[in-house]
Amino acid sequence: MARYALRRLASIALILLLVSAIVFAAIHVLPGNAATLILGEYATPEALRTLEREMGLDRPLLVQYASWVASVVTGDWGVSLAMKQPVATVVGYRLRNSAFLALAALTVVVVVGVPLGTLAALRRGRPLDLAIVTATYVGISIPEFVTGLVLLLVLAGPSVGWFPTSGYVELASGVTAWARHLVLPAMTLTIVLLAHVVRQTRSGLADVLTAPYIRTARLKGASARRIVLRHALRNALLPTITVLALDLGYLMGGIVVVEEVFAYPGMGRLIIYAVQNRDVPLLQMCALVVASVYVLANFAADLAYAWLDPRIRYS
Amino acid sequence: MPPPVLDVRALSVQFETNEGPLRVLRDVSLQVAPGETFGLAGESGSGKTTLGYTILQALAPTARVTGGAILFEGRDLLGVSEDELRRIRGRRIAMVYQDPRSALNPTTRIGAQIAEVLEIHERAPARAAGRRAQELLELVNIADPASVARRYPHELSGGMQQRAVIAMALAGGPSLLILDEPTTGLDVTTQARILELVADLKRRVGAAILYISHDLAVIAQVADRVGVLYAGELVEVGPTADLFAQPVHPYTRGLLDALPHLDGLRGLVPIEGRIPRLTDLPPGCVFAPRCDFVAPACTAATPALETVAPERRARCVRWPTVLATPRRSTAAAIAPETVASDAPLLAFEHVSKYFGGAGAVARWLGIGAPPVRAVDDVSFDVRADEVVALVGESGCGKTTLGRLAVRLLRPTAGRVRFAAPKPTDAQIVFQHPDSSLNPMKRIGPSLARPLVLRGLRRRERGRRVRELLEAVRLDPDYGARRPAALSGGEKQRVAIARALAMAPQFVVLDEPVSALDVSTQASIIRLLAELRRTLGASYLMISHDLSLVRHVAARVGVMYLGRLVEIGAVDEVFRAPSHPYTRALRSAVPRPDPAVPGRPIRLEGSVPSAQHPPAGCRFHTRCPQKIGRVCEEAEPPWARASPTHWIACHIPIAELSRSSEEARP
Ligand SMILES: Nc1ncnc2c1ncn2[C@@H]1O[C@H](COP(=O)(O)OP(=O)(O)OP(=O)(O)O)[C@@H](O)[C@H]1O
Ligand code: SF4
Ligand code: SF4
Ligand SMILES: [Mg+2]
């Protein structure tokens, strides 16, 4: 297991290096460099040249890349051009906020989705199952901005007003207020993922329940409860983990939309801001951070899979 | 006699299907006494497994019991509540079924799976249950129970998995044990040890055992009494010795005559026709359409299970006539092929085939896995007009060798020389005909395709397809069917017809009949022998079944873990001097004759991994005759026992000739 994890970590480092190269290259392919951005379109060539030299932009690309990687690794992420703040501080704060959102959504998805899927599988073809399956179809087919707006109108509208329509409150100023601001965006994010997880759990469990070892358990005299909890679920949830890992990419896309709808200060909005302001140092770190989160989360999913499935432990 | 533990009375079961009700079991009655092993035999689809599941009330939801009773310790199981059933399952009645790998939960440790029975039924605390699980593993002869209990199913060999499943079945101390094909799919040497275990358990545990198998040879070795099931009806019941010595029902006789025998002298007489469809059964006796003794009285009404002798019953109205007629089996054996010429058609020269393995960089870094050595330095040849068989247990490399022979694979080292001009001169027939037939394509076009390549015109192709179908004894109108509408045996005939369409000089037959019932097996083997004679082709037949090989091959090669260990004329390989592995293999084959009890030579442990084959003699980790360090260190040399017979072992030939403790009374 440890060896497997180490090998995977090595490959992750390699992937991230590749991502950083792509990010770096993409930004250098764009017309105009940081110096142009700072000085604006009408800067004199001499001023540009001077700034470029100061910023080291006149060095060979490979050298620039290497020094950039070195500074990223040592924690020096530069200063945001538009915000005039260290990129590390900005990204750290926003990343934390987005993480609250994503974790809240994922927790709900697992805590609600797995039991719902289980219930549907156990009541296959009956009204409850049909209701759940229909609901997941609806959930999958509605895009976030629609769900978000509907939730806004219904739960935050003037008639109900249970939740704030937008914004964010620091955890320090009270858990209740903080949580209330989290509910609607998290709920919006949850719906599609919930549908995926419910469907995967349902079909996975239905599959496993026809496996010969389930019959073995039944012929041992195990009760229906024991069969599901002890024998079926663990095996059925293995593919669900994979679905969750794949969904992470989807979750990140969703976060951009949801944060915009609810004016929530997270990574999603930060990226949009960086793009709009052509804030290159901010943008490249955002891209790198998002890619790292994605790769690491997949790694975590793989580890969880290996931990739950003894068959692949040492592969 | 004590009252029976299990008393099935006039049981009928049917499945509801789209084509109407499928009457899978009809009027089945049988009893099993405490300490008795009842063998239930029958071909595929005869309803054996359905009977097992009916007893435990574990049938599919589409099944319905339409009549009869299942008395277990005097109480009818058909009436008991679900709660009551749960208390009976696993504790009073336990079942073991085919394919232990899928019967075990892949993500739970072996020990925990066994202990669970005790947790369910005795509310045993985890500690105590775990200890008991280890004792049970010991009871089924597992050498290192503590470590095996901690392992997961995929970490055990097939034989160990089946032992674990049996241990699980014994955990509740059941009074009835149902074993459904517990050794099907296992190697013969492993099978021999499981059968030994079953016999041993009968003595020690004293449970009633219902042993279900399609393999009459296995039944002959384990059962006290036998019931023969045909298309859902029990056609004959009797004590094992009597039934095998003098079968009464024509179907039982047919089954016994269809079996191959290790002496190569008897058997392989097919039963004509096939099992009727359970949706439209013939009137009267279900066996009538295939029976040589059929008379008008047979189709008038379903014959009753009549008592024909003390303790013997048969469902045949003409049983006195049948009994008075001598059996056919002893006469009609296929004449074994003789060595024909000495011009090699196909020659293997130091051929090796390695699969996978890490690339050079990974190996250099020391992190890559070594390759699987499927075939390692094998040399032999197949001559023109000759049948050579390769035998060995699963994973020994025989299939790989077959594929190398027809160039489906390229050797990693060495050379495969083929003395025929065209590539189409070599063909292959696979174990599962499905893998070579396109399910969407009708049989006719499937057969015509290779003929197009040979440049035949449309009219000629039609004629040739009809000829081919006739050659494999299929009605020409089968050309219009799709594979799904054919039985397993018929599909295999089509696959053979296709291989023959090119009039090849050489055909590889990779386990051509191992997926088929005995009577189909007999007819396919006869067909293959006959076709070969008309074609004058050579066969390389790959099989795990020694008895079958005895009937068809002129020469036999024995493989173990990628190596050829012995090769010789068929009679030479079946008698001393023999390689120690050949001897063990031969002794493990169950005889379909209760009068000749098996005395298998025990092979300890399991076949080592082909990634890390043992040094020296590959067989040394399990060899009962190992002579010492030399076996572990030096590769055994080839020694010549006769001009045609070679053995690779450190023991001198003279000494191998002396070891003859397997001679039978
Ligand atoms: N769930 C089911 N629905 C419909 N038909 C079924 C079902 N299960 C079994 N059958 C049919 O019942 C008949 C008997 O099947 P069964 O599995 O009992 O045979 P068997 O003697 O155990 O065969 P085998 O040797 O192949 O295991 C077959 O025709 C089979 O196709
Ligand atoms: S009853 Fe007739 S058809 Fe049936 S097995 Fe006996 S002789 Fe054959
Ligand atoms: S060489 Fe040694 S180990 Fe190998 S078969 Fe002969 S006696 Fe057994
Ligand atoms: Mg069966």
Write the DSSP assignment of A139-175 as a string of letters: HHHS-HHHHHHHHHHHHSSTTT--S-SS----GGG-H
Q: What is the pLDDT of residues B421-445, one digit of tens each?
A: 776 788 899 888 877 788 888 898 8
- Is the pLDDT at B337 greater than 60? The verdict is no
B289, two tokens: 């359409």
Q: Which residue has the higher pLDDT, B470 or A113?
A: A113
With the most atoms of ligand 2 within 8 angstroms of its CB, the residue from B318, B321, B322, B325 to mutate is B318
Q: Which of A308, A278, A311, A306 is nearest to A3 (CA)?
A: A306
Mean pLDDT in residue range A89-118: 90
- Is the pLDDT at B665 greater than 60? The verdict is no
CATH code, residues B333-420+505-665: 3.40.50.300
pLDDT tier, B660 (very low <50, low <70, confident <90, very high otherwise): low
pLDDT for A315: 46
Distance B322 CA to ligand 2 centre (A): 9
Give yes or no for a contact between B444 and B479, defined as CB atoms under 8 angstroms apart.
yes
- Is the pLDDT at A128 greater than 60? The verdict is yes
Q: How far apart are CA B549 and CA B511, in angstroms?
A: 10
Q: How far apart are CA B385 and CA B507, in angstroms?
A: 11
- Is the pLDDT at B654 greater than 70? The verdict is yes
Q: What is the pLDDT of residues A11-46, one digit of tens each?
A: 888 888 888 888 888 777 665 566 666 666 676 777
pLDDT tier, B499 (very low <50, low <70, confident <90, very high otherwise): confident
Provide the residue ranges of all domains of chain B, joining segments of one domain with +.
1-92+174-332, 333-420+505-665, 438-503
Nearest CA to ligand 2 atom 1: B316
Mean pLDDT in residue range A219-226: 93
Q: What residues does ligand 1 touch, defined as CB less than 6 Å away? A: B 15, 17, 22, 24, 42, 44-50, 60, 62, 214, 278
Q: What is the pLDDT of residues B347-379, one digit of tens each?
A: 999 999 998 866 666 655 555 677 888 999 999
Mean pLDDT in residue range B55-66: 92
- B93 beta partners: B89, B176
- Is the pLDDT at B488 greater than 90? The verdict is no
Percent of chain A whose pLDDT exceeds 70: 92
Least-confidence region, from A89-98, B60-69, B334-343: B334-343
DSSP H or E segment with residue B23: strand B20-32
Strands in B472-547 per DSSP E: 506-510, 538-543
Provide the residue ranges of all domains of chain A, joining segments of one domain with +.
87-314
With the most atoms of ligand 2 within 8 angstroms of its CB, the residue from B228, B271, B285 to mutate is B285
A221 part of contact set with chain B, CB < 8 Å:
yes
Among all residues of chain B, which has the CA nearest to that of A306?
B107
pLDDT for B626: 94
Q: What is the CA angle A46-A51-A57, rounded to 5?
A: 110
Q: What is the pLDDT of residues B230-286, one digit of tens each?
A: 999 999 999 999 999 999 999 999 999 999 888 877 788 888 887 888 888 899 999
Q: How far apart are CA A43 and CA A37, in angstroms?
A: 10
- Is the pLDDT at B338 greater than 80? The verdict is no
Q: Please identify every residue whose CB atom is under 5 Å from ligand 4, which is an ion.
A: B 49
Residues in chain B whose Cβ is within 8 Å of chain A:
56, 58, 86-91, 94-95, 97, 99, 102-108, 116-117, 120-121, 152, 154, 165, 168, 172, 367
Asked whether this chain's domains B1-92+174-332 and B333-420+505-665 adopt the same fold, the reply is: yes
Q: How far apart are CA B183 and CA B590, in angstroms?
A: 12
Give yes or no for a contact between B582 and B565, defined as CB atoms under 8 angstroms apart.
yes
Q: What is the pLDDT of residues B169-208, one digit of tens each?
A: 999 999 999 999 998 888 898 899 889 889 888 888 889 9
Q: What is the pLDDT of residues A145-197, one digit of tens each?
A: 777 777 777 776 666 667 777 777 777 777 787 877 777 888 888 888 889 89
Percent of chain A whose pLDDT exceeds 90: 17
CATH code, residues A87-314: 1.10.3720.10
- Mutation target vs A (from B56, B116, B121, B136; most A CBs, 10 A cutoff): B116
Mean pLDDT in residue range A88-109: 88
CATH topology assigned to domain B1-92+174-332: Rossmann fold (3.40.50)
Mean pLDDT in residue range A207-225: 93
Least-confidence region, from A193-202, A208-217, A293-302: A293-302
Question: What's chain A's average pLDDT?
Answer: 83
pLDDT for B405: 93
Region for B268 from its dihedrals, namely left if φ exceeds 0, alpha if ψ lies in -120 to 50, beta otherwise? left
- Is the pLDDT at B587 greater than 90? The verdict is yes
pLDDT for A220: 93
A31 part of contact set with chain B, CB < 8 Å:
no
pLDDT for A208: 93
Mean pLDDT in residue range B554-559: 95
Q: How far apart are CA B489 and CA B515, in angstroms?
A: 9
Q: How far apart are CA B494 and CA B587, in angstroms?
A: 35
Mean pLDDT in residue range B96-122: 92
Q: How far apart are CA B312 and CA B228, in angstroms?
A: 12
- Is the pLDDT at A314 greater than 90? The verdict is no
pLDDT for A154: 72
Q: What is the pLDDT of residues B75-87, one digit of tens each?
A: 999 989 999 999 9
- Is the pLDDT at B103 greater than 90? The verdict is yes
Of B56, B154, B367, the CB nearest to A219: B56
Q: Which residue has the higher pLDDT, A56 or B536?
A: B536
pLDDT for A241: 85
Q: How far apart are CA B37 and CA B558, in angstroms?
A: 34
pLDDT for B564: 96
pLDDT for B48: 94
Mean pLDDT in residue range A255-278: 85
